[in-house]
A and B are shown apart, each in its own frame.
Chain A
Amino acid sequence: MSPSVPPLFWLGAWALWRREILRFVRQRSRLTGAFLQPLVFWLLLGGGFNASFRPAGASGNLSYVSYFFPGTVLLVLLFTAIFATISTVEDRKSGFLQGVLVAPLPRWMITLGQTAGGATLALLQGVIMLSLAPLAGVPLSPMGFAAAVAILAVLATALTSMGLVIAWRMDSTQGFHAIMNLLLLPSWFLSGAFFPEAGAPLPIRVLMHLNPLTYGMAALRRALYWSEPHLLPPLPGWPLALSVTVAFAATSFAAAVWSSERRPA
């Protein structure tokens, strides 16, 4: 990282952030894709499984629709972050990124602008989804809501940065889809979003323990059930969940900066 950055060069990151937002507003299909798809997932899967499944280890009052809801919020973040990072790959193909790379601002500042843009969009949509919590039978208190939004912000940063690490190394969006299916979606499946750890076979449980998203998922569940933690299945505690999630975001961002600096152009 550069030792000193003249103050006005923060404008560069700001400019990239604003562009990300403007583009999003002008491409309705992205909004639909990132928001409706998880909603449909939730209604169909949650609704479909509701009668057959009870989340293992949870108290009797937690329905599958309710259990799956926080997982859907995480999925919204994941999808938006993915869309935001696909746009980085497209920027390189279209030539926009070249124009950014010849500007006198350090790469980490470029990455900061991109991450902030992607994370803001992810957070906004996550919050919209979150506001549907009462419909899912999730008891949302003001304190719980605030905590959930804060956790979503950290998770949005982590996921967007992860996407950028990949995007800076990819030359095609096809390659990106392959990575998404192999890495990002499985890490969502194994985060406790879809099924709880309790009752899963040992290899799956090990993978879940190793998956940093598991801890973000746990933090989000704990925030949503702020006032009624007794309804939750066994989960990592607050300190562990929070520290792993913050560390995950910081590491992902550092990795994104590193990838951007390694790439010649």
Chain B
Amino acid sequence: MQARNVWPRTQAGLEEAVTVDRLVHRYEDRVALQEVSFSVRRGEIFALLGPNGGGKTTLFRILATLLRPTAGSFSIAGVPAQQAHEVRRHLGVVFQNASVDPKLTVWENLLCHGQLYGLRRTTVAERASELLDRFALRERRDDLLETLSGGMQRRVELAKALLHRPPVLLLDEPSTGLDPGIRREFFALLQELRAHMELTVVLTTHFMEEAERCDRVAILHRGSLVALGSPTELKAAVGGDVLMLQGSDPARLAERLRQELGLAARVVDGAVRVERAQVHELVPRIVAALGDDLTSVTYGRPTLEDVFVHHTGQRFWIEEPR
């Protein structure tokens, strides 16, 4: 009985909140994850970034204990995956689709969920009151969930996942379906929670600007981990700046860049890319040399999208759907 009320904490001294070791998942006809390994440090906000079909949803479902991996292992807060029940106690899960009941009030939803995690009514009441204050939901406590706005429902969803005070919070596409203002607000809430509670956040996303705000990003492409690091590190690895050239014949453009200017150029989705430090200094030479073949030249600091292109040779958005 006593042990029941001691709620899970990440083991003291453990630096890694989540470790993933050579996870493989195969559906009948295709490989969704191939040998993915990484670890998430305690207190991090960690993004799994990738286009739809990249494998992040499969990875989310495996970490949430809803799907068994074909091979490999993982641990949450030091608890190995084999102990599914223990893993679940250490994990708060927020799904992409609402998992709250629209026909129950905010309080009834929280009570129901708290009890599913074995919490007593009084414990749920204390924690719910604290979370409702923090999430500015106090006045709506006794309203049916279906009467709340989309942003508020998301916050209830989040409160529900935190009731049992998990050390690790797992979110699937938390921003999908939210307008940009609410999306920023929701992310700010996550950052605040990370600061106030001892919380590690792992989220999947296909929004670049969301991944930009995370501490570290793992980029998944066709089931493989293609890059891992902080947004700054990842962008630095692209090799400087990015020049995009457009013209009627991109292949010819790229060929001429290589031949005449000795630049490593490649064609990605109909445009020619050059990644190189201080590349803007070359613009006058390029324009002078290629003149007629060019229709436009765009210069930019690398973004996470450039990181994705750099590692995969593909545009982020043209991935075939799942």
Contact = CB atoms under 8 A, between A and B. Distances in A.
B309 interface: no
Interface stretch (B97-105, B253-261, B295-303): B97-105
A23 B115 contact: no
Interface in B127-146: 144
A94 B145 CA distance: 14
Nearest to B172: A98
A96 B109 CA distance: 10
Contact of A23 (B67, B89, B101, B120): B101
A9 interface: yes
A18 B116 contact: no
A235 B140 CA distance: 57
Nearest to A26: B103
Nearest to A11: B115
Interface residues of A, number: 31
B81 to A, nearest CB: 13
A134 interface: no
- Which bracket fits the contact residues of B? 35 or more
Interface string B289-312: 000000000000000000000000
A102 B66 contact: yes
B104 A22 contact: yes
Contacts, number: 93
B66 A104 contact: no
A29 interface: no
A86 to B, nearest CB: 14
A169 B103 CA distance: 24
Main secondary structure of the interface of A (DSSP, over half): helix
B103 A22 contact: yes
Interface string B40-70: 0000000000000000000001001111100
A150 interface: no
Contact of A103 (B61, B104, B117): B117
B265 interface: no
Nearest to B94: A99
B97 A95 contact: yes
A96 B65 contact: no
Interface string A18-57: 1100110011000000000000000000000000000000
Interface of A: 2, 6-9, 11-12, 14-16, 18-19, 22-23, 26-27, 94-106, 264-265
Given A11-B119, A19-B101, 7 more contacts: A6-B118, A7-B4, A16-B112, A95-B99, A99-B95, A99-B99, A103-B113
